[in-house]
Structure 1
Amino acid sequence: MRILLVEDTHDVAGAIVASFGRRGDAVDHAITRAEANELLALQRYDVIILDINLPDGDGLSLLADQRRQGNTTPILMLTARLKIDDRVAALDQGADDYLVKPFDLRELEARVRALARRAQRDPSEGSVISYADLEVDIAGHTANLGGHPVNLTRREFGVLEALLINRGRVISKEQIFERMFSFDEDDVGLNAVEIYVARLRKKLEGGTVAIKTLRGLGYQLIARQ
């Protein structure tokens, strides 16, 4: 999952980036509205975490601008404001959720993943997705193959999540890369995707699911007959 965090409080931002990074998510961090607009012009995100108070303006106006431009990316607002009117205003302008500071990072992670699931998958699906003999708990970060746990690194799980969400469809190497790595990780190349796909493919051996490579197009998670 690729996330845009717009937050000017460095300790809060650092904690959020580290928390999602440990789970294998890519987080691009902007401090100002201007920086956020630059990143949004370059990259699509699964979820945007947006603080209301920013050095160069109100986060609510950035929210309103994105919705006017047709950006439907789920947006979670962070706010230190306790008044109900402020929270209602955020929701009325197109926010999908909000969290009042101070907050527990585990709750933020849960809310962000819920927003991403709602946007990317059938609403009837929960946190656990089953495909052939593979069962993956997206929220719990666990996977079972044929009833046996599969030990995955955070990057391998990120690849599996991307393939599983798009199961049956082809997903390009570039799309997987964008979900896994932020702009700050500029020393990582596309070949890293091939490495993690190869490792994941090996760990799925013996099951009825497989990763199919389509040269020049990308990868596809399929169920063997």
Structure 2
Amino acid sequence: MTDILLVEDDRDLAATVVDYLELIGLRCDHAANGAQGLQLVSENRYDVLLLDLNLPRIDGLTVCRTLREQGQDIPVLMLTARDQLQDKLEGFDSGTDDFLVKPFELAELEVRIHALARRRSGQSKLLRVGDLSMDLNRHEVRRAGTVLKISPIGWQILEALMRAAPAAVSRQKLEAQVWGDVPPDSNPLKVHMHHLRKVIDGGSDAPMVETITGFGFALVNPSDRDTSDGGNVDTGNGR
């Protein structure tokens, strides 16, 4: 079941939205201010956050910005009575994924929720997999607290792997991420993966970069690794 968090200080509107979402089979928690919303996100996993722009205690922009800085990738739909371009630009800059201007039709809200629930947000500014972290604001990668030197192309590959983790990313998708629709002819992904693996896993007895035979690559938290995968996964340099 899809889990929603609504952060809205208008209690009449909140009651209407919660009742409607539960009627169509979605679970919905409610917070009446920004501070309570941040607390609930820290305690629970939600598929979509419905976030009012004007909130008491902590406003919606600050809530969204705080979540992104914490590494939260929950999709955010900002609810606002404002329909000015500048307000939307500020919202997107803070990390929101979409806007819905009040008053809105509940049927449209439902459509927007389902669209956002199918993906996690790509706006998180702090990515973590095990003891590996990527801070997009500082442009810094650390493993076990040690700063790692990542090449620009290695950064793009690593970001794609971290955002997908623990799921695997195909070679084709990684190539498109870096080189667009026309990758070079010289098989550069193999070279960059070799260097990235040396930086991330070099000297470690707990490798994270895995080759998925016949498909692509994955970044896995060593403590979560399933050792009974039947031999489909290896940590070698094969393409």
TM-score normalised by structure 2 residue count? 0.49
CA shift at 1:91, angstroms?
1.1
CA shift at 1:57, angstroms?
2.7
Give me the whole-angstrom Cα distance separating, in 1, the residues matched to 2:119 and 2:43: 24
1:95 and 2:96 are equivalent in the alignment: yes
Q: Which residue number corresponds to residue 76 of structure 1? A: 77
Structure 2 alignment gaps of length 5 or more: 122-239
Q: Which residue number corresponds to residue 67 of structure 1? A: 68
CA shift at 1:41, angstroms?
1.7
For residues 24-47 of structure 1, the C-alpha deviation after alignment (integer angstroms, 9 at most, x for no partner) is: 111010001121122112101000
Is the 8 Å Cα contact of residues 38 and 67 (structure 2) preserved in structure 1? no
Give me the whole-angstrom Cα distance separating, in 1, the residues matched to 2:81 and 2:58: 15
Give me the whole-angstrom Cα distance separating, in 1, the residues matched to 2:25 and 2:39: 24
Give me the whole-angstrom Cα distance separating, in 1, the residues matched to 2:68 and 2:120: 15
Structure 1 alignment gaps of length 5 or more: 121-225
CA shift at 1:119, angstroms?
3.2
Is the 8 Å Cα contact of residues 80 and 100 (structure 2) preserved in structure 1? yes
Give me the whole-angstrom Cα distance separating, in 1, the residues matched to 2:63 and 2:53: 9
Is the 8 Å Cα contact of residues 6 and 51 (structure 2) preserved in structure 1? yes
AA matched with 2:5 = L
Give me the whole-angstrom Cα distance separating, in 2, the residues matched to 1:57 and 1:47: 19
1:106 and 2:98 are equivalent in the alignment: no
The structure, 1 or 2, with the larger RCO (C-alpha pairs under 8 Å, 6+ apart) is: 1
Q: Which has the larger radius of gyration?
A: 2
CA shift at 1:118, angstroms?
2.9
CA shift at 1:11, angstroms?
1.3
Aligned-partner SS, 1:54: coil
AA matched with 2:76 = I
For residues 85-109 of structure 1, the C-alpha deviation after alignment (integer angstroms, 9 at most, x for no partner) is: 0011101221110101000010011
Give me the whole-angstrom Cα distance separating, in 1, the residues matched to 2:58 and 2:44: 22
Task: Percent identity, please.
Answer: 47
Give me the whole-angstrom Cα distance separating, in 2, the residues matched to 1:13 and 1:24: 17
Give me the whole-angstrom Cα distance separating, in 2, the residues matched to 1:89 and 1:111: 20
Is the 8 Å Cα contact of residues 35 and 58 (structure 2) preserved in structure 1? no
For residues 37-66 of structure 1, the C-alpha deviation after alignment (integer angstroms, 9 at most, x for no partner) is: 221121010000000001113110000000
Q: Which runs of 4+ in 1 moved over 3 A?
A: none
Q: Which residue number corresponds to residue 10 of structure 1? A: 11
Count of paired positions: 120
For residues 81-136 of structure 1, the C-alpha deviation after alignment (integer angstroms, 9 at most, x for no partner) is: 1211001110122111010100001001100110011339xxxxxxxxxxxxxxxx
CA shift at 1:17, angstroms?
0.2
Give me the whole-angstrom Cα distance separating, in 2, the residues matched to 1:15 and 1:114: 21
Q: State the superposition RMSD in angstroms.
A: 1.3
AA matched with 1:38 = Q
